[in-house]
Homo-oligomer: A and B are copies of this chain.
Amino acid sequence: MFIRNAWYVAATSQELADKPLARTLLGEKVVLFRGTDGAPTALEDRCCHRLAPLSLGDVEAGGIRCRYHGMKFDTRGQCIEIPGQDSIAPGMCVRAFQVVERHGFCWIWMGRPDLANADDIVDVHWNRAPEWPTASGYIHYKANYQLIADNLLDFSHLTFVHRTTLANAALVDARPEITAFDRGIRLNRLIVACDPSPLHGMAGKFTGKVDFWTRQVWWLPSIFENWAGSVPTGGTGEAHERAGGLHLRHFSLLTPETAQSTHYFWVQPCQFPHNEPGMIEKVGKGIDTAFAEDRWMIEAQQVVMNDSPDVKPKAIRADAALGRVRFMIDRLLEQERAASPA
């Protein structure tokens, strides 16, 4: 059901603490914690003894202790202590997942261990980097991650869903240039001499027409990178390379929770063409508002789909990008199925 051979965000660095964090990821219950040495660990959240959740337990040096009968597991999931018992049967263990902490996130790999390569983690180094004031957030979504992906891949909805925030009248007719590559697709748009959207106008303090660009990447299966910006119209050179521009480096990082729910992490590192204080907070608020509008629509859509499982959507021209990504995801799922032992 989910692509497993991929790095997903399991938690933010701030969420990882010495108290265990219980989280369902790709349909599996996982306990996450930062060990006494500071390193993150992710284990199956189910003691192998009588199936109590380890996330009710306590982090100790070298591992976690189940709160029910006191069995202790190390960071590889091996049971290393059973109170009142000297020997431990070799099968006494829980599954451990590879985790990497990078750029403010704890990334998890839940697929075939031999395929995990930390170099494949999507680069989000702008997150809270110097010179990049960053807004961020987390949304728990009652919808399948692909409905959210559809939304992010078709900006024609901005005019209708986001009237007061992201709407840009010119967007409806500005079809992006779409290019596939081995890890997903790229979508580039440039709209010259348009009125800025409410958000760009506010964040950039633009008084006239702007050239507006989005340079987006959909990283399979479920990370959306959107370098969007505006710059006063009329200069020379590529809009996104001219001075005086507003730069919004957005990442939407989707991690399936279940078939019907999604962990939605987002970060928005910005560079402003001015020094007005408090602007990053205003941008964060704008994103919050816009994403609440999306959620209102997408969760309602999920309810309708559940009620009519046999009804197929009918495509329009604006679905080009989302159709391609859905096709790519289906192909990856197919490959994983074919490669997995029966």
Contact = CB atoms under 8 A, between A and B. Distances in A.
A314 B89 contact: yes
A305 interface: yes
A333 B65 CA distance: 36
Given A67-B297, A297-B68, A49 B316 contact: yes
A91 B296 CA distance: 27
B304 A175 contact: no
A29 interface: yes
A173 interface: yes
A318 B45 contact: no
B50 A150 contact: yes
A91 B311 CA distance: 13
A101 interface: no
A327 interface: no
A321 to B, nearest CB: 13
Nearest to A22: B300
The 6 closest A-B pairs by CB, nearest first: A70-B160, A84-B172, A52-B301, A83-B172, A50-B313, A51-B304
A308 interface: yes
A17 to B, nearest CB: 20
Contacts of A66: 160
Interface string A230-263: 0000000000000000000000000000000000
A18 interface: no
Given A83-B156, A160-B68, A46 B304 contact: yes
A314 B56 CA distance: 19
Nearest to A159: B70
B45 A304 contact: yes
Given A46-B308, A172-B84, A301-B52, A67 B318 contact: no
A48 interface: yes
A49 B314 contact: yes
A274 interface: no
Interface in A63-77: 65-71
A269 to B, nearest CB: 29
Contacts of A46: 304, 308, 311
Interface string A286-320: 00000000001100110111011001011111110
Given A69-B318, A159-B70, A305 B85 contact: no
Contacts of A82: 316-317
A49 B48 CA distance: 47
Contacts of A29: 304, 307
A122 interface: no
B317 A85 contact: yes
B53 A300 contact: yes
A80 interface: no
Contact of A84 (B161, B297, B317): B317
Most chain B beta-carbon contacts within 10 A, residue among A56, A157, A159, A160:
A160
A84 B314 contact: no
Contacts of A336: none
B69 A316 contact: yes
